[in-house]
Amino acid sequence: MEKILIYDTTLRDGSQGEGVTLSVEDKLKVTASLDHLGVDYIEGGWPWANPKDMEFFLRARKISCRHARLVAFGRTRKPDQPAKEDPNLLAIIRTGVKVATIFGKSWSLHVTEALGTSLAENLNMIRESVAFLVDQGLEVIYDAEHFFDGFKENPEYALATLQAAADAGASWLVLCDTNGGCLPDEIKAAVMAVKGEISVPLGIHAHNDGDLAVANTLVAVTSGCRQVQGTINGYGERCGNANLCSVLPNLELKMGYRCLPPGQLAKLTEVSRYVSEIANVVPAGNQPFVGYSAFAHKSGIHVSAVLKQPHTYEHVTPQAVGNERRVLVSEQAGASNLRYKVEEMGIELSAQDEKTIINGIKELERQGYQFEGADASLELFMRKTVGDLQRHFEVEYVKTLVEKRAGMDAISEAIVKLKVDNQVIHTAAEGNGPVNAMDNALRKALEEAFPAISRMRLTDYKVRVLDEKDATSAKVRVLIESRDGSSSWNTVGVSTNIIEASWQALLDSMEYALLKQAGKTRRKVAAN
């Protein structure tokens, strides 16, 4: 099984994506996660261009990577400046890394217009910059920026830039589709042409502006590239980079290459979601392989077939990439969906119970509820319908107050009165808005009797307007995600009053946490 080296550039190229911001501490955490996954190279950043990146490299000296090699990024020397005096190259050396990646121009348009120098001087810049770093004892990876566009315009010169880097001692030549506009057949032709002329190992660095970064990366590998550059979740400038979360399973599971240490591909979903959380980017539910919906089945016909043979509607097993199968129950679902969920939750149903639950779900969805993303509320509803739900507390009333005075921020307060084992608890709490105030008051009332409540937290809150034409009187659906130390769950509420909808979802969240604590559910929950 042939090895493909994996070069992750999430910390550098990925952090250039809009909305992606990583602190030094964040970058150290992601580095540890990527090393644990088993990638071969981790590009930490551009130390000369960004003081934060230099700080990262200095702090990263204390990290002992078990598998990956840390890489510092930079460019070739400036025109008409000795490489040994170039501050960008000197910054790479100061990081103390053993591997450097520098990029140079392959497209004559960029040489004459962007750099404002001659084609001959650009070749000198490439050759002397690579040689300088090699003389310092570094492994040098040369990124041929805009290679494919340059190859289409002037193939002889594009190849000459690669040869200059090869002659100077570069260990890898990485062909970059920097503008992300090439088609797979163009990638294939160019890689094969280079392969026929140059003996240094090749890599591929594809951007996603044509939505082809993954496809272009895979065809580059089949054409001869043995290093793949990309980012977790496809983060990157403009439309992003090649998504390693798609590249890796395709290479390993479908194309027969070895990319990660044995068994590590099963950690891919965990790493994907961890990086998205660190980057504060909401994970794309429909992302292939690692998305929350990647193995979700809604159609009753599909579910019936999957229960008999998973391969009927799954191109790989969810476990291979660390994901899980999900069966959605909705008004469109059939009995197969319900039976799957019942078995998953450990609930015993009669034929009449099944009919009652399906009719109840259809009625609730007619009112605006949606259980596809709220499995916890679905389980509570099903248990309540069949009389298998023990209520841990009973709410008598809740009151919210919002006070706004001129020149002052609004103040929110919630008052709750409830019963726990016939004991009345009456309390109040303030919060950052009425929903937070209700959450605080409910916790205050319940934590003494149920310590498990203190270990859970609300991690996401979404509001969806269901009838836009009704403007401010429209019905809304509120979805709440909650977590404890080991799992997460989602609940839903619907009302024309946003506070009421939030209260419904909040109550379900608390009730489900207590149900879990009591050991009455066997529902599979996503690992934190």
What pLDDT does 528 receive?
A: 31
pLDDT of residue 523: 36
- The angle that helices 184-197 and 213-223 make with each other, rounded to 10 degrees, is 30
405 has a pLDDT exceeding 70: yes
Pick 512 or 283 by higher pLDDT.
512
Give the residue with greater pLDDT, 119 vs 469.
119
pLDDT-based confidence at residue 527 (cuts at 50, 70, 90): very low
Least confident of 63-67, 401-405, 519-523: 519-523
The answer to whether the beta carbons of residues 396 and 426 sit under 8 Å apart is no
Is the pLDDT at 331 greater than 80? The verdict is: no
- For 196-214, the pLDDT digits (tens) are 999 999 999 999 999 999 9
From residue 298, give the alpha-carbon distance in Å to each of 295, 338, 439: 10, 11, 32
Give the least confident one: 153-162, 176-185, 337-346, 380-389: 337-346
Q: Is residue 516 situated within a structural domain?
A: no
Residue 472 DSSP symbol: G
**Measured between alpha carbons, how far is 123 from 265 in angstroms, rounded to an integer?**
40
Per-residue pLDDT at 96: 95
Confidence of residue 362 (pLDDT cuts 50, 70, 90): confident
Closest CA to 440 of 475, 473, 415: 415
Q: Look-up: residue for tokens 């979360």?
A: 245
- Model confidence at 371: pLDDT above 70: yes
* Structural domains in the chain (count): 1
Q: What is the pLDDT of residue 207?
A: 98
Task: Name the pLDDT band for 294 (thresholds 50, 70, 90).
Answer: confident
What pLDDT does 525 receive? 32
Q: What's at 112, amino acid-wise? A: T
Pair 338, 375: CB distance under 8 Å: no
Rounded CA separation 114/478 (Å)? 51
Residue 194 lies in a domain: yes
| pLDDT at residue 133, rounded to an integer | 98
pLDDT greater than 90 at residue 223: yes
In a domain, 259, yes or no: yes
Distance (Å, whole) CA 275 – CA 269: 10
Residue 151 belongs to a domain:
yes
Where do runs of H (alpha helix) occur along 224-368? 244-249, 268-278, 300-308, 335-345, 351-367
What phi-psi label fits residue 50: left (phi over 0), alpha (psi between -120 and 50 degrees) or beta?
Answer: beta
Res. 465: pLDDT tops 90: no
Burial class of residue 116 in the structure, from the number of CB atoms within 10 Å of its CB (0-12 exposed, 13-18 middle, 19+ buried): exposed
Among the ranges given (231-240, 371-380, 464-473), the one the predictor scored with the smallest mean pLDDT: 464-473
Q: Can you tell me the mean pLDDT for 141-150?
A: 97
Asked, for residue 23, whether it belongs to a domain, the answer is yes
Is 175 part of any domain?
yes
Domain extent, residue 167, equals 5-278
More confident residue, 463 or 54: 54
- Residue 451, class by beta-carbon neighbours within 10 Å (0-12 exposed, 13-18 middle, 19+ buried)? exposed
Structure confidence at residue 38 (pLDDT) = 97
Q: What is the pLDDT of residues 83-108, one digit of tens each?
A: 999 999 999 999 999 999 999 999 99
pTM, rounded to two decimals: 0.73
- Residue 171 is given by DSSP the state S
Domain-located, residue 356: no
- Tell me, yes or no, whether 91 lies in a domain: yes
User: Do residues 202 and 173 make contact, with C-beta atoms less than 8 angstroms apart?
Assistant: yes
What number is the average pLDDT over the span 52-74? 94
Average predicted confidence (pLDDT) for the chain: 89
User: What's the CATH number where 216 sits?
Assistant: 3.20.20.70
Tokens of 397: 């009333």
What does the pLDDT average to over 314-323? 89
Q: How buried is 228 (Cβ within 10 angstroms: 0-12 exposed, 13-18 middle, 19+ buried)?
A: buried
CB 297 within 8 A of CB 327: yes
User: Distances in Å between the alpha carbon of 90 and those of 105, 367, 491?
Assistant: 20, 65, 54
Q: Which of 246-255, 356-365, 437-446, 518-527 has the highest mean pLDDT?
A: 246-255
What percent of the chain has pLDDT above 90?
Answer: 61
| Token pair for 431 | 């919060």
Q: Which of 176-180, 217-221, 442-446 is predicted least confidently? A: 442-446
Residue 415 in this model has a pLDDT that exceeds 80: yes
* Contact between residue 291 and residue 285 where contact means Cβ atoms under 8 Å apart: yes
